[in-house]
Amino acid sequence: MADHQQHVKSHLRGFQNEACADFTLPESRAAMEAALAAARAKFGRQWKLVIGGKCVESGATFASTNPAMPDEVLGYFQKGTPLLAARAVEAAAEAFRTWSRSPAIIRIAAAARTAELLRERRMEFNAWLVFEAGKSWAEAEAESGEAIDFCDYYARDMARLDGSHPVLQLPGEKGEIRYLPLGVGVIIPPWNFPLAILAGMTVAALVTGNTVVIKPSSETPNVAALFAEVLLEAGFPAESFNFITGSGSLIGDALVGHPKTRFVSFTGSRDVGLHINELAAKAQPEQLWIKRVVAEMGGKDAIIVDSDCDLDAAVEGVALSAFGYSGQKCSACSRAIVHADVYDAFLERLKPRVERITVGSPEDPQFYMGPVISAAAQQTILRYIDIGRQEGFLLVGGEAFGGDGHFIQPTVIADIEAADRVFQEEIFGPVLSVSKARDFDHALEMANDSQYGLTGAVYSHNAEHLALAREEFFVGNMYINRKCTGAMVGCHPFGGFNMSGTDSKAGGPDYLLLFLQAKSIAERL
């Protein structure tokens, strides 16, 4: 046992972000093409729920489909029920009695092994992200790398938090702090990062000694089901995690409201996050604790373009931030706020840059942008584009295309005012509004005129302006002279202010503490 512990600790030294594959290299391209073919051969698989380590059928199923080809069924999943959700929480509560007492080194080793297995199966997960989430090759590869990073990072951080921690010592006493797991956690990941965020939330909960019920989005359950296989192979006991699919409104409320649920880890929309927070705050009969909610929610992220910046760099950063993964990132730039002195020049350069963006099936690597996630999302986004046409000037894009797939052109709407709906409301699609600011102070005021506070960026070479933004730009993740997407684990702990969530700072040194409770122990000598 001692040799095993030493091996694990030696392996964990020195976290480093995972490098992304270069698909211009023939071997990487061939590996991805083979993975896509292998995934396609497995379309239509029937998946079951996993409750207490046993496979369960509910008697009814739903299909997961390809957003680029909606008639293409990727897999069939069980429609969970409130009764089955309650069984999953009860099973997790029973398993917590033993898993919470397992040596931390066992849990750390399982987390590290999860990273290794994801690394080995990286192209496989890339392929399913392409088919089920509509991600381009590059976006899928980046997400798989982030999932690996989360598992590696949290394994190392649990090694730091394990054991006794010193406090100020009183004469005649010996004092310490120890961190204990909370209990049963409900893990509710989003469809837009169905692997990375799922892996991060789940492994953080498990490595700290909690047990979980995983409830993935009904848009992307294949990715979650495959990840559950990885957890089991990595050494997490079958009883330590449960897997249940189905309607969020039907089983999500049952999971959150159950009296034995100790915490909820959620990533998704503002409205759902607020509902979860409200439901979790209501104590149920026989409930012994105040439930903890770790919420990562929406964003209406702004990039400020100052008068003295590198304008070409700003145009590139805005375009990449706004239209990567069809704008379906909570960190995506949806508002460009541009100094009046460079406003016209910015639009002149932005228009041809956006027109060069290629849109099509993400299975084909020539396309930069794929579909939006669903027909319902497509219709919502198109309605916002119609609103934007009335509020401002359509610079480029604005239409759906591509037959049956859920495709929308990258769209830019200029001359938008702060009171306009497309300036204030989260659209979650390939739609960018551009607004003119009188000066930098006005630009900062406009950027902060939002109920959200997730990410933001400033392009400027003015030291005074940058110093002001460091203090006054009210976002959880601020970037200077670079895009506002692409947070890296360990480098950019991620989480936002206001209606963007509980500022959980995923991928940072504070994150695992959200899944632990501190016990102060003092012994009289």
* Residues noted as catalytic: 296, 330
- 269: buried, middle or exposed (CB in 10 Å: 19+, 13-18, 0-12)? middle
**Radius of gyration over alpha carbons of the chain, in Å?**
23
Contacts for 332 with CB less than 8 Å, ≥ 6 apart:
299, 301, 321, 322, 324, 325, 428, 484, 485
- According to DSSP, the β-strands at 292-296 and 261-267 are parallel
Q: At what angle do helices 196-207 and 104-120 cross, to 10 degrees?
A: 160
Q: Residue type for 467, please?
A: A
Number of Cβ atoms within 10 Å of the Cβ of 308: 14
Kind plus residue range of the DSSP H or E element containing 480: strand 477-480
Residue 168 token pair: 């100020």
- 517: buried, middle or exposed (CB in 10 Å: 19+, 13-18, 0-12)? middle
236 and 229 Cβ atoms separated by less than 8 Å: no
Alpha carbon distance, N-terminus to C-terminus of the chain:
32
User: 365-381: buried (b, 16+ CB within 10 Å) or exposed (e) per residue?
Assistant: eebbbbbbbbeebbeeb
E-strand stretches of 311-451: 333-339, 393-396, 400-401, 407-408, 411-414, 431-437
Name the residue among 122, 157, 124, 128 with its Cα closest to residue 142.
122
User: 170-186: buried (b, 16+ CB within 10 Å) or exposed (e) per residue?
Assistant: eeeeeeeeebebbbbbb
306 and 465 Cβ atoms separated by less than 8 Å: yes
Cα distances from 378 to residues 400, 431, 515, in angstroms, run 8, 12, 36
- Which residues does residue 266 pair with via DSSP β-bridges, in sequence order? 188, 295
**107 — phi, psi (to 5°)?**
-70, -40
In angstroms, the CA 272 to CA 270 distance is 6
In angstroms, the CA 141 to CA 25 distance is 14
In angstroms, the CA 342 to CA 352 distance is 17
DSSP letter assigned to residue 499: T
